[in-house]
Amino acid sequence: MAKINIGPVRAFNVMRTIFGGFEEVGVSKNDCKNFKREINLFINEYDAEMMVENLMKKKEHLPDFSCEYFTDEENCLVGLFWSDGESKRNYQVFGDIMSFDATYRSNRYSMVFVPFTGIDNHNNNVSFGAALLASETAETYKWLLRCFLKAFGKQPDVVVTDQDPAMKKAIEEVFSGSRHRLCMWHVMHKLSTKVGVTLCNTTDFKQRICDIVWTDSLSPSEFEVGWHSVILDFDLSDNNWLGDIYDMRESWIPAYYRDELMSGLMRTTSRSESENHFFGQVCNVRSTLLEFLTHFETAIESQRHNQRKNDHDTRYTRPQLKTDFVLEKQASQIYTKTLFLDVQVEIVGIEKCINVKLENIDGFTKFFIKDFDQLCNSYFEVMFRPEDTTIHCSCRRFEQFGLLCRHIFYILKLYDVKEFPRKYILKRWTREAVPNILYRQSSHSGFYTDLYDRNQSMVREIFAAQEYTLSRLYDDIEALSLYKEYVEAYKTKADELQYIVPPPSKRDRASELNGTCKYNKRPVRVPVGYKSKGSGVHNKRIKSKQEEAIVKAGKKSRQCQNCKEYGHYASTCSKPPKKTGVNTKEKTFDTMSTDS
């Protein structure tokens, strides 16, 4: 149960419920807590050594498993990267665009967890590999990306990260052939803080700037014209922050990614944020590295189970068709269930399109399509050559997402095309993007054999034969006596063959559970003295000024009963106590006199 992040107390309560009572568990709640403590004491300073040994053992026995690590001068673990064969196969198909981000509070040593995330053929997250880093320097990220490149053999086309300068420097040097894209959300999230809340809330500045930033329908020149227009209208030429983000516009504005294939799949690091949350559900800040590894493997198994389930649903369910267009039926047989629903929306949207006019240009027929579902007043231009079914639309949906748009389907239906154009089918979105035969056992199941199952089966056969023999000899006392002598003789022989093994010690039991039993003379040590950027005080994430202001505004401050001011108590008030106007002693004396 520790593999799914269940502590010893909850584990005991689960067993108590399953087995039917406290007495049926066989141990007490304190026994469970003490056993967990003994395991942690056994691990102790060998935590990093055990994790590295575990992963290196997999690298030795499992095909296509990669593991790299490096230490500092004192042999403390600084970086650890690993990836298995299935992750590599996924990367070969879905590695055209990738995101990675560091997340915190996943283990007791404040090592940051860095998963590499892509998008599979069901439009879900898929993990390519993972790393643990003790520091977030440019040199550490360079080492990590070199390990990634060594394991996978090729660079992604587009890499999406936040504005971390160390990541940027490492990507520029190691992934020189990749296009580095900054997360749009991280940039625009600072807009109100850098420009001013009043300007954003009382004018249409924020709406106008978002209209030209978040859209992917503008060309670079159109974006620059719109940007300068907003800056001049609101007199923001002197704002240094706006000038800085404009200077790096080619790294995050969608207008500059129009020609980059599949660039529309990731514009932010939300995939990485989602992946971090997914892994965070089975991790906690008190975990040892060995516990973290089991939690990670549990999460990966869950992710791959969902991927196989989606493959099964795609293979054995038939989506409902909504039109009589022959390409819709073919699309349902080509794409996965999730992606077909997106394609189906575009095919149904043909009804909202109309051809306004056409022209002939260099062997192509140019159509001007009016889309009544779009708020813009401009026309979409579609270029089509019937001879080889070459087609292109100005909305560039296929270039950015790998799927045809409704404007192209409109023209294909207009020309009565009977077969889905093969050149516009990307393998990454198809049903068989990753062949079903590649789904193998989990990465840690290769260490176990079926010896236990074979022994159990043989024992059941012996019991059945013995019961049959006794039932047949029950009335024959002589035969029964001979059978008894035979069994007792073999019993004596079994005692001679049996070597009495003493019960395992707690140390041996802990070693068996953790899968390690040997220590090197100079083991890899856990990181000491490193501090990640997001750890803060007491391993808490450092909050921005905006977050601190929100927290401060939500707190109700104490009121001093002496000066009636806020922020302190009457006992710590610097002003002298106010007189109530009534002498307490005189009041008490007068009361006593009246009573007398």
Domain borders along the chain are: 2-44, 187-251, 326-436, 462-497, 543-577
Residue 507 has what pLDDT?
Answer: 56
Strands 125-133 and 158-161: unpaired
Helix, strand, or coil (residue 78):
strand
Q: On the CB side of 444, how many CA atoms lie within 13 Å of its CA?
A: 14
Cβ–Cβ under 8 Å, residues 272 and 101: yes
Longest dimension (CA), the chain: 120
* Helical residues (DSSP H) of 155-282, grouped into ranges: 165-174, 184-188, 191-195, 197-202, 205-213, 220-233, 240-247, 270-280
Q: Is the dihedral of CA 161, 167, 112, 46 positive or negative?
A: positive
Contact 346, 403 (CB under 8 A): yes
Q: Which residues of the chain have pLDDT under 70?
A: 3, 43, 375-377, 435-456, 497-522, 529-557, 579-596
> How much is the pLDDT for 445?
40
Q: Which helix (H) or strand (E) holds 371?
A: strand 364-371
- The contacts of residue 108 (CB under 8 Å, 6+ apart) are 285, 286, 287, 288
List pLDDT tens digits, range 141-171.
999 999 999 999 999 999 999 888 999 999 9
> How far, rounded to the nearest angstrom, does the alpha carbon of residue 64 sit from its chain's CA centroid?
22
Write the pLDDT tens digit of every residue in 368-387: 998 888 766 678 899 999 88
pLDDT at 333: 93
pLDDT of residue 118: 93
What is the DSSP secondary-structure string of 514-571? HT-----SSPPBPP-S---TTT-GGGPPPPPHHHHHHHHHHS---B-TTT--BSS-ST
Secondary structure of residue 261 in the 3-state scheme: coil
Q: What's the rounded Cα separation, in Å, for the pair 115 and 123? A: 18
Q: Kindly report each contact of residues 13-17 with a partner whose C-beta sits within 8 Å and lies 24 or more positions away, as own/partner.
A: none
* Nearest Cα residue to 514 out of 30, 49, 4: 49
Measured distance CA(362)–CA(384) in Å, rounded: 11
pTM: 0.73
Secondary structure of residue 98 in the 3-state scheme: strand
Instruction: Name the strands in the sheet holding 179-182, side by side, starting at the edge strand that comes first in the sequence.
Output: 66-71, 77-83, 125-133, 112-119, 97-100, 158-161, 179-182
- Mean pLDDT of the chain, nearest integer: 82
d(CA 249, CA 255): 9
pLDDT tens sequence across 29-49:
888 888 877 777 776 777 888
Residue whose pair of structure tokens reads 């049926």 in the numeric block: 24
CA 489/CA 287 separation, integer angstroms:
53
